């Protein structure tokens, strides 16, 4: 009825096999497809597609749910935390900073990087928590970096400077320590993808605000919808990069490929 992974060359992989492999991995998908084909030989074609769809949902529900939770967290919970940090800022305290150590230009660059990192990590943390679990090293690293980046929204120079220094130190340390190097590479590549994809979104958004007086209102609403779709697309690309690199760098090989030693 359908050819399995083991019976054909990879260049002849069917769409059903390819899609299942994206979710379950090549080896596991081959075994599942073999079982479905064997059972489908004595059943109807409708049974095969029903069982196949049920398998996709059972194995692949975590990724779409993780993405939805991450988008909701970034758009609502993240904004709530920012407001709380800003509201509870103690304005009567003297705003000191590490100006003797950091130049003004360095501090501006550091603050912008922290703000960008905090926004991305507020998406990445719920995504990896739902997708990979709390005990995963990628989840633990993402959580630590988010906690370091969030104080930038207190708007207190000393806290912001310390947050930036700790962030740089944590990233360098993660890259130097073998246990955390691969999770850091996955997180960095995912972050770069999100930031690069979002850059054009923010640029177009600013252009729309500058020239909104010259754009008919009906078109401005359409632009806003397009911008929201583009912003979501940027994070879809980032999530795809995260899943791909996770499979390549962090996921354990199938049991058949591991030995007792």
Average pLDDT over residues 25-37: 79
pTM higher than 0.85: no
Q: Are residues 43 and 17 in the same domain?
A: yes
Q: Are residues 78 and 169 in the same domain?
A: yes
Q: How many domains does the chain have?
A: 2
Q: Reply yes or no on whether the pLDDT at 70 is more than 70.
A: yes
Whether residue 259 lies inside any domain: the answer is: no
How confident is the prediction for the chain on average, in pLDDT? 76
Higher-scoring residue by pLDDT: 219, 159: 159
Q: Are residues 53 and 128 in the same domain?
A: no
Instruction: For 176-201, give the DSSP string.
Output: HSHHHHHHHHHHHHHHHHHHHHHHHH
Q: Reply yes or no on whether the pLDDT at 54 is more than 80.
A: yes
Q: Are residues 228 and 194 in the same domain?
A: yes
Whether residue 224 lies inside any domain: the answer is: yes
Whether residue 260 lies inside any domain: the answer is: no
Return the sign of the alpha-carbon dihedral for residues 231, 235, 241, 244. Answer: negative
Whether residue 215 lies inside any domain: the answer is: yes
Proportion of the chain above pLDDT 70, given as a percent: 70
Q: Are residues 48 and 79 in the same domain?
A: no
Q: Are residues 84 and 113 in the same domain?
A: yes
Average pLDDT over residues 72-82: 78
Average pLDDT over residues 10-39: 74
Containing domain of residue 234, as a range?
Answer: 62-254
Q: Reply yes or no on whether the pLDDT at 75 is more than 90.
A: no
In this prediction, residue 252 carries a pLDDT of: 66
Listed residue (34, 39, 38) closest to 8, CA to CA:
34
Q: Are residues 23 and 71 in the same domain?
A: no
Q: Are residues 45 and 136 in the same domain?
A: no
Q: Are residues 128 and 227 in the same domain?
A: yes
Q: Are residues 36 and 87 in the same domain?
A: no
pLDDT tens figures, 94-106: 454 555 555 666 6
Q: Are residues 26 and 117 in the same domain?
A: no
Listed residue (254, 138, 252) closest to 189, CA to CA:
138
Q: Are residues 197 and 129 in the same domain?
A: yes
In this prediction, residue 260 carries a pLDDT of: 37
Q: Which two tokens stand for residue 219?
A: 């078109």
Say if CB 29 and CB 5 are below 8 A apart.
yes
Spell out a b/e string for 171-199, using b for 16 or more CB atoms within 10 Å of the CB, else e: beebeeeeebebbbebbebbbebbbebbe
pLDDT tens figures, 98-130: 555 556 666 677 777 888 888 889 899 999 999
CA 129/CA 126 separation, integer angstroms: 5
Distant-in-sequence, close-in-space partners of 70: CB < 8 Å, separation ≥ 6: 123, 124, 125, 126, 127, 130, 235, 239
């Amino acid at each position: 009825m359908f050819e399995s992974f083991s019976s054909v060359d990879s260049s002849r992989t069917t769409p059903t096999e390819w899609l299942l492999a994206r979710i379950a991995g090549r080896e596991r998908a081959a075994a599942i497809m073999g079982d479905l084909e064997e059972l489908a030989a004595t059943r109807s074609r409708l049974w095969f597609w029903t069982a196949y769809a049920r398998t996709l949902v059972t194995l692949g529900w975590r990724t779409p749910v993780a993405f939805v939770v991450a988008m909701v967290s970034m758009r609502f919970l993240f904004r709530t935390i920012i407001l709380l940090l800003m509201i509870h800022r103690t304005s009567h305290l003297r705003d000191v900073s590490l100006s003797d150590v950091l130049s003004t230009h360095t501090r501006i660059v550091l603050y912008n990087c922290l703000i960008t990192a905090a926004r991305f990590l507020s998406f990445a943390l719920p995504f990896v928590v739902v997708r990979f679990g709390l005990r995963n090293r990628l989840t633990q690293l993402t959580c630590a970096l988010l906690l370091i980046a969030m104080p930038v929204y207190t708007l207190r120079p000393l806290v912001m400077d310390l947050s930036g220094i700790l962030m740089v130190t944590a990233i360098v340390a993660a890259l130097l320590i073998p246990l955390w190097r691969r999770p850091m590479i996955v997180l960095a590549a995912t972050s770069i993808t999100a930031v690069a994809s979002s850059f054009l979104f923010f640029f177009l958004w600013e252009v729309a605000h500058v020239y909104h007086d010259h754009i008919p209102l009906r078109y401005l609403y359409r632009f806003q919808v397009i911008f929201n779709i583009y912003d979501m697309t940027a994070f879809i690309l980032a999530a795809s990069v995260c899943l791909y690199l996770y499979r390549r760098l962090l996921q354990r090989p199938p049991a058949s490929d591991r030995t007792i030693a």
